[in-house]
Chains A and B, each alone.
Chain A
Amino acid sequence: MELVIQNLSKTYPNGVKALKDVSLNIPKGMFGLLGPNGAGKSSLMRTVATLQEPDTGSIALGDIDVLTQKEEVRKVLGYLPQEFGVYPKVSAEDLLDHLAVLKGITKNRERKELVKALLQKTNLYQHRKKSLGGYSGGMKQRFGIAQALISDPKLIIVDEPTAGLDPAERNRFLNLLSEIGENTVVILSTHIVEDVLELCTNFAIINQGEVLMTGNPKEAIKTIEGKIWSRSIHKDELERYKLNYNVISERLIAGNPEIHVFSETKPDEMFEAIQADLEDVYFAKIKENSLATETA
């Protein structure tokens, strides 16, 4: 089963172009969707999750036409939205059971076992009787993945699942995801590059509604190897560097900015070559894209 997205476009009533002619082939396994906030990741994912209509384009999941056969998609879909709430006064066990019924697990015994296993898997079993209102962000997020895993979905969509999690929780969460990613199409959207690097066999970078690149993370890094340069500068120099060089990222180290520059050749003596990583790929692409739109 493969998810094929073709020429998907969407403009919101307020004029924002959320998706511009997006085409993606997403095979089984983990697929990372990388992009800054507001890039159109959530729009794309909601469209795949039957919750939103594109203006043009098509989506097929195997034989299923996602845009017209919504019921069929929902039967095999596990979806974790970017932001979601829960009934604060209902326990995790009850709500999961409730959602399982709606997913079609109508046999009581089977459902009970499934709910139990899912809670154990997501390490919520000891908290199963607790009201969801008392859950921490990480627990809630794990509850979210538990509900997305009900009924062995063929397509799992998780939208920014690691946002707001502390590092330990994030690890736990990613482990959980990696386990299920083998036989299923899993789309993971994130703005955190490590997520993709650690988990995904394939990924795409998306910004301002456009797909900037797709591929394998390791191969992507190879494309920019030797072209990323770094140096530490003084705060006051930042503007000048930005004007003169292709600065793709900056971060403060001990109070002074360290900048990364994308360049075929060494920009100047003070720069040193560094081992490029996926983040540099990401920032380079974003930079390229924004320059392109500015000049256009």
Chain B
Amino acid sequence: MFEFIKFELKYRATRPATYIYFGLLFLMAFLLVVTDAQIAVGATGKIKDNAPSIITGAMQVIMFFGIFIASAVMGVSVLRDYEHKMSSIIFSTPIKKLEYLAGKFIGSFIILILISSGLMLGLMLGQGVPWPWLGDSKDLLPFNFMAYLSPFLIFIIPNLFAFGSIFFAGGTLAKNMVTVYAQGIVLFMGYLVASSFLGDLDNQYLAALFDPFGLGAQAYTTQYWTISEQNSKLLSLSGVILQNRLIWFGVGVFALVITAWKFSFNLAGKASKKQKKSKKSTQEVTVPDQIKIPLAQQLFGFSAEWTQLKELSIFYFKWVIKQGPFIFISLAGIIFVLVIAFVGGTQGYDIELYATSSRVLDLIGIFNLFFIILAVFYTAEIIWKERDVKMNLIYDALPYPNYVSLLSKFFGMVLMSILLLIVLMFTGILIQFIKGYPEIDSHVYFNTLFVDTLFMMVLYVFLGIFIQTVVNHKFLGIGLMIVFYISLLALGQLGVEHNMFYFARASIGTYSEMNDFGHYLSPFSWFNAYWFGLAIVFFGLSILFSVRGMEASLKNRLKLGKLRLNKRSAALIAGSLLIFMGSGSFIYYNTNVLNVYRNSDEQEALQADYERELKRYQDIIQPKIVDTYVEVDIMPFQRDFVSSGYYILKNKSKEVINQIHIQKSPDYQALTTMSFEPEANVKEEYEKYGYTIFDLNKPLQPGESVRMNFKVEFTTTGFREGDSNNDVVFNGTFFNNSQYFPSIGYSSGFELGDDDTREDNDLEPKERLPERDDRKGIQSSLFGDDADKISFEIIVSTDSSQMAIAPGYLQKQWDDGARSYYHYKMDTPMVNFYSVMSADYEVIKDTWKPPVDTLPEVSLEIYYNKGHEYNTDRMMKGMKESLTYYTENFSPFQFRQLRIMEFPRYRSFAQSFANTVPFSEAIGFIQQIKTNDVDLPFYVTAHEVAHQWWGHQVTEAGVKGNAMLSETMSQYSALMVMKQHFPPEIIKEFLRHELNSYLIGRTFEQKKEQPLEFVEGQGYIHYRKGSLIMYALQDYIGEDSVNIALKRFVNDWGFKDAPYPTSKDLLGYFKEVTPDSLQYLYKDMFETITLFENKTEEAEFTELPDGKYKVDLTVSSIKYRADSLGTEDSIPLDDWIDIGVFAKDEDGKDKLIYLEKKKIDKEENEFEIIVSEKPEKAGIDPINKLIDRNPSDNVKDVEEAVSS
């Protein structure tokens, strides 16, 4: 055996591939951590560049590509002996099978580990040396060898063993590499399936257990690790990680056992040959001399070549699809797609979407990756097919042209792709039928699969053919394709972002049922012309320089290429080069000449310059908008709009204003002009930023007003690079004033927000919001400092096939030719925030009668895209129920109308404007709500309606903690409406997701986690933690008390101009209604980051003589305070915490039979509780009201006590 190991090691040591693989891993690891690419593995914000979590992440990312190396090293081990025909020599020597196999395996595995150590060395060298270009090393922790070794031992080596064994088995038993690739692909699929399960709270553990890479187990273990834990903690081989590793170790051993069992020295082929021979020798035959070979006409030229092309294409096609691995990959892919479709792919709160064609295509879009993998591997196989079976000399001496050979291989691949796409299409249709949504949108299927996907596949096949012919080495070619693909992913880090540099990139865009493929088809077509031009140039060159016969040297290939160059091939290459350059020029003209192109560095630099140059104007006193009148003409099919109107600007200060600063829309598509009455002259213009300073001819005295006329012409010419404008589209225009209309003064919103980016641009770190007591801050509302409340009037016109909607009440509607006009006016002041929308809508109308007779009726309307009526009832109900609750508990609704309008799924949110709520197609409208699901459309509606109070009635100051007033209170309001209308299990399910989202959200914190009262735009705090805190608060102090506080708060702060309220004000109202014993809650809930670790240690019951039950509980509690990075310190307990006992009801569901708050003032506590029903479960904080990182151990099954 040692002989074989030695031989294998010696052999590998002489192979360049061994060093190439090592170098590749080393280089990838090194580059990953010394460039900005490390952001991809999480090295941003406060996470140190060499944090253990980054090292682990980097190793695992690179390990994906390591699969290819593992398959190449382990798969070929025994296979090589077959291919070199060594097998008959080796196998005829008297060796034992096991020794041979073990030697081969161990030798190769040692090599594989040595190769993989390149990965670790690359990381260590990258992070351990202070490379000059990395700047100061403040982002680095002290070098810790264990941080590298431990993930290498826990993840990389076990993975290599498991995968290596599987590949070894595949290569040894199937005797071909394609099987090994197929295994690799299936393992990768396993990872994808596992990661899609990970998002699902109920299946996380399963995913963690079975993910072949161990990534799932790692993610599961570390999912709630805070920034400081990520920076310091090393993973240990325990828990689910250990279980996962053991499972895959077992799989590896199993693969080896199978190999040892099934492998046989008898060469299968030989055996059958021998049979044939013996059979033949019995039937003596003579050459039939009398046979005359008939003369057959040889035809050459185009028609013959056409016949040959057909013959060969079908031949290759059949060859590919008859291969076991192909069938295997396809089947596995289909199963994978089905799993994804039925298990994964849910939205938040585990809600499914209706299985529309586009939705299903989204889900199965993940199959695209397999197309690329198939393109890479099968193109290589098909190019090397003749050479692999050693028939190349026969083929090469046949009189058919080179182009027929390559083109037929190409067509073979294309036919294979089409077959797969057809299978995929039927899979999609099947999913739709099974999911009960049999509306097949054929043009979506066609465009997505047979245009978008097929084109991409075809381009990669062309590229594969080119690389394989040029490199003329199968594995090197495959490796290069992979490197090419990865480097495309890394290119963005070098500032190369234009899609013209990304091979095969051409986006058909997001399909929206409202806007179809919209305006994306034109750039999509041009980009495809561009890439096809290039690909066909590649193909032409491949024809010229492909190897035919024995000559592989570059010199001879060039010589032969010259011979092959004829009019036809020259015309092909020149023609496609022309298409490539022509369409390239056209694209460039569109994206960079007609439109403005900036890569993100340039964009950031512009923003940084803006800040440097204009920040000095931030604090100058400006008048405020008090009145807005605007006419907007939308030309949806040109994707243009023109809006003209005026602001009345009033000097609300006590000082004279001489100059007015105007910030135009930063979007170059919007051309803005302005004038003032009385007049003002341009004093200074910063064209680069669209910032203009006007000198007022007549200074504005305190209390005086000036009228500012403006005109914004938004025009779309040609197409933009990358994400095009999705605001103004064929059907479903939606934009708001802050995007396109002029604003007053310096906009701090344009400043760079991310500290890393700021540092790159030589700017100091920046607070995300002003301090809570900032004097200027409390003078401006969350909607900015341009205005307090405004009077608002708008006339929107659009194509008469559509309807135009803006806030306000419809005054008049008329048609003029092919255009429809809508005149809206708001009769009370509103915040300076309004949207303009235009689409072809269906409408549902209803009215809501307020609980108090003196209040006016409210007309409720939902404008939606035809076909999207599934959840409109839920939304309507949501509007009614929440209007009732809020009116009864907070204050009357301030409008007589409330509208929900759908907009295309380019963006997925709902947003509350005065009496109007734009609501994305992507959420709510197409969610499929099942019996036990959280009714998301209802919830989102209730949340948005609540904003009519929290935001529109009470507008908060734009300072730290602001979102606690609008978003957290809207979460609370919606929760209370839900609590009234849904069973407790639904609320529990909702809160379970909120807790999970909060705990995960804080692990991604970039700067610092804030306590709720200082939240600074952190969604995981103001939404998720907000829900939990407010639910607990109303549980502790009572829903009524909370509502009384809120009622007082609206009463005092509603409909008010500056100064605006802050979280401090609101907390004052809450504290007022809270008994002294519970005042401590505010510190835990709002003022600090406090977490609990509650756990039930023991739970026993004894039946009492009177038929009742005594429950003995031992529980433990730890209370933590966390700092902004999540470093926790335990603090003394003095808390009221729920103790609860569950029984089972008739349906076998949990029923709470006891729930009481107990004083907990030490870590270990024991309780004795008497209940009258047989207890099933019991515990501390049983319904998870407190924030707890292990919520599932709060409750335990109650066992019957054993009397001693």
Q: Which residues of A contact B (CB under 8 A)?
A: 13, 46, 49-53, 68, 70-71, 74-75, 77, 79-81, 83-89, 98-107, 110-111, 113-114, 117-118, 120-123, 133-137, 139, 144, 147, 149, 151-152, 172, 175-176, 179
Cα separation A73 to B315 with both chains bound (whole Å): 25
Whether B393 lies near A79 (C-beta < 8 A) is yes
Say which size band chain B's interface belongs to: 35 or more
Whether A103 lies near B399 (C-beta < 8 A) is yes
Known A-B contacts A52-B549, A106-B303, A107-B299; the reply to A79 vs B399 at CB < 8 A is no
- CB contacts (< 8 Å) of B289 on chain A: these are 179
Cα separation A172 to B300 with both chains bound (whole Å): 33
Starting from the known contacts A51-B397, A110-B294, A133-B272, 12 additional A-B residue pairs (CB-CB under 8 Å) come to A51-B396, A74-B397, A74-B399, A79-B393, A98-B311, A102-B400, A104-B400, A105-B296, A117-B292, A123-B287, A134-B276, A135-B273
Whether B391 lies near A85 (C-beta < 8 A) is yes
Known A-B contacts A101-B308, A105-B296, A117-B293; the reply to A50 vs B389 at CB < 8 A is no
Interface residues of B in 866-923 (CB under 8 A from A): none
Whether A79 lies near B390 (C-beta < 8 A) is no
Known A-B contacts A107-B296, A110-B297, A120-B288; the reply to A99 vs B550 at CB < 8 A is no
Whether A172 lies near B287 (C-beta < 8 A) is yes
Task: Flag whether B93 is at the interface (Cβ < 8 A).
Answer: no
Known A-B contacts A13-B553, A111-B296; the reply to A103 vs B398 at CB < 8 A is yes
Q: Which residue of A lies closest to B393 (CB)?
A: A81
- CB contacts (< 8 Å) of A85 on chain B: these are 389-391
- CB contacts (< 8 Å) of B300 on chain A: these are 75, 104
Task: Flag whether B395 is at the interface (Cβ < 8 A).
Answer: yes
Whether A79 lies near B397 (C-beta < 8 A) is yes
Question: Within the complex, what minimum Cβ distance (angstroms) separates B412 from chain A?
Answer: 13
- CB contacts (< 8 Å) of B272 on chain A: these are 133-134
- CB contacts (< 8 Å) of A111 on chain B: these are 296
Could you show 22 A-B contacts with beta carbons less than 8 Å apart? A13-B553, A49-B393, A52-B549, A53-B551, A79-B393, A79-B397, A84-B391, A85-B391, A86-B389, A88-B269, A103-B298, A103-B400, A105-B296, A105-B297, A106-B308, A110-B296, A117-B291, A121-B291, A123-B287, A134-B273, A151-B298, A172-B286
- CB contacts (< 8 Å) of A136 on chain B: these are 273, 276-277, 280
The 7 closest A-B pairs by CB, nearest first: A51-B549, A85-B390, A74-B399, A104-B298, A81-B393, A79-B397, A110-B296
Cα separation A255 to B312 with both chains bound (whole Å): 56
Task: Flag whether B307 is at the interface (Cβ < 8 A).
Answer: yes
Question: Which of B555-563, B673-681, B813-821 is the contact stretch?
Answer: B555-563
Whether A151 lies near B401 (C-beta < 8 A) is no
Cα separation A144 to B549 with both chains bound (whole Å): 17
- CB contacts (< 8 Å) of A79 on chain B: these are 393-394, 397
- CB contacts (< 8 Å) of B548 on chain A: these are 51
Q: Which residue of B lies closest to A87 (CB)?
A: B389
- CB contacts (< 8 Å) of B398 on chain A: these are 74, 99, 102-103
Cα separation A75 to B300 with both chains bound (whole Å): 9
Q: Which residue of B lies closest to A175 (CB)?
A: B287
Whether A104 lies near B304 (C-beta < 8 A) is yes
Task: Flag whether B1131 is at the interface (Cβ < 8 A).
Answer: no
Q: Which residue of A lies closest to B385 (CB)?
A: A87
Q: Which residue of B lies closest to A75 (CB)?
A: B399
Q: Which residue of A lies closest to B396 (CB)?
A: A51
Query: Does more than half of chain B's interface fall in helix, strand or loop, or is it mixed?
Result: loop
Q: Which residue of A lies closest to B277 (CB)?
A: A136
Known A-B contacts A51-B548, A87-B389, A111-B296; the reply to A147 vs B287 at CB < 8 A is no
Task: Flag whether B285 is at the interface (Cβ < 8 A).
Answer: yes
- CB contacts (< 8 Å) of B322 on chain A: these are 89
Cα separation A172 to B396 with both chains bound (whole Å): 27
Q: Which residue of A lies closest to B319 (CB)?
A: A87
- CB contacts (< 8 Å) of B286 on chain A: these are 123, 172
Question: Within the complex, what minimum Cβ distance (angstroms) separates B543 from chain A?
Answer: 14
Question: Within the complex, what minimum Cβ distance (angstroms) separates A104 from chain B?
Answer: 4
Question: Within the complex, what minimum Cβ distance (angstroms) separates A209 from chain B?
Answer: 16
- CB contacts (< 8 Å) of B556 on chain A: these are 53
Say which residue of B269, B288, B391, B397 sits within 8 Å of A49 (CB atoms). B397
Residue of A103, A111, A144, A149 contacting most chain B CB atoms (<10 Å): A103
Whether A46 lies near B550 (C-beta < 8 A) is yes
Q: Which residue of A lies closest to B292 (CB)?
A: A117
- CB contacts (< 8 Å) of B397 on chain A: these are 49-51, 74, 77, 79
Whether A123 lies near B285 (C-beta < 8 A) is yes
Task: Flag whether B1202 is at the interface (Cβ < 8 A).
Answer: no
Interface string of B544-585 (1 = CB under 8 A from A): 000011110100100110010000000000000000000000
Cα separation A79 to B391 with both chains bound (whole Å): 12
Cα separation A105 to B304 with both chains bound (whole Å): 8
Say which residue of B287, B288, B311, B391 sits within 8 Å of A87 (CB atoms). B391
Cα separation A151 to B559 with both chains bound (whole Å): 30
Interface residues of B in 276-331 (CB under 8 A from A): 276-277, 280, 285-289, 291-300, 303-304, 307-308, 311-312, 315, 319, 322
Say which residue of A71, A81, A83, A117 sits within 8 Å of B399 (CB atoms). A71
Whether B304 lies near A118 (C-beta < 8 A) is no
- CB contacts (< 8 Å) of A86 on chain B: these are 389, 391
Q: Which residue of B lies closest to A69 (CB)?
A: B563
Cα separation A51 to B398 with both chains bound (whole Å): 10
Cα separation A99 to B548 with both chains bound (whole Å): 16
Say which residue of A74, A84, A106 sits within 8 Å of B390 (CB atoms). A84
Cα separation A24 to B895 with both chains bound (whole Å): 105
Question: Within the complex, what minimum Cβ distance (angstroms) separates B312 from chain A?
Answer: 7
Q: Which residue of A lies closest to B272 (CB)?
A: A134
Whether A151 lies near B296 (C-beta < 8 A) is yes
- CB contacts (< 8 Å) of A144 on chain B: these are 394
Known A-B contacts A101-B307, A103-B298, A120-B288; the reply to A52 vs B389 at CB < 8 A is no
Question: Within the complex, what minimum Cβ distance (angstroms) separates A99 from chain B?
Answer: 7
- CB contacts (< 8 Å) of A51 on chain B: these are 393, 396-397, 548-551
Say which residue of B287, B293, B395 sits within 8 Å of A102 (CB atoms). B395
Q: Which residue of A lies closest to B298 (CB)?
A: A104
Cα separation A50 to B549 with both chains bound (whole Å): 7
Cα separation A74 to B395 with both chains bound (whole Å): 10
- CB contacts (< 8 Å) of A89 on chain B: these are 322
- CB contacts (< 8 Å) of B390 on chain A: these are 83-85
Cα separation A199 to B272 with both chains bound (whole Å): 33
- CB contacts (< 8 Å) of B559 on chain A: these are 53
Say which residue of B269, B296, B389, B391 sits within 8 Å of A113 (CB atoms). B296
Whether B293 lies near A149 (C-beta < 8 A) is yes
Q: Which residue of A lies closest to B300 (CB)?
A: A104
Whether B315 lies near A70 (C-beta < 8 A) is no
- CB contacts (< 8 Å) of B394 on chain A: these are 79-81, 84, 99, 144, 147
- CB contacts (< 8 Å) of A88 on chain B: these are 269, 389
Q: Which residue of B lies closest to A124 (CB)?
A: B285
- CB contacts (< 8 Å) of A77 on chain B: these are 397, 399
Cα separation A110 to B285 with both chains bound (whole Å): 27
Whether B391 lies near A114 (C-beta < 8 A) is no
- CB contacts (< 8 Å) of B400 on chain A: these are 102-104
- CB contacts (< 8 Å) of A102 on chain B: these are 308, 311-312, 395, 398-400
Whether A71 lies near B401 (C-beta < 8 A) is yes
Question: Within the complex, what minimum Cβ distance (angstroms) separates B403 from chain A?
Answer: 12
- CB contacts (< 8 Å) of B549 on chain A: these are 46, 49-52
Question: Within the complex, what minimum Cβ distance (angstroms) separates B558 from chain A?
Answer: 11
Interface residues of B in 446-467 (CB under 8 A from A): none
Q: Which residue of A lies closest to B288 (CB)?
A: A120
Question: Within the complex, what minimum Cβ distance (angstroms) separates A188 from chain B?
Answer: 16
Question: Within the complex, what minimum Cβ distance (angstroms) separates B807 from chain A?
Answer: 71
Whether B288 lies near A84 (C-beta < 8 A) is no
Say which residue of A75, A121, A176 sits within 8 Å of B298 (CB atoms). A75
Cα separation A118 to B295 with both chains bound (whole Å): 11
Whether A121 lies near B293 (C-beta < 8 A) is yes
Question: Within the complex, what minimum Cβ distance (angstroms) separates B89 from chain A?
Answer: 16
Whether B291 lies near A176 (C-beta < 8 A) is no
Whether B297 lies near A107 (C-beta < 8 A) is yes
Whether B294 lies near A106 (C-beta < 8 A) is no
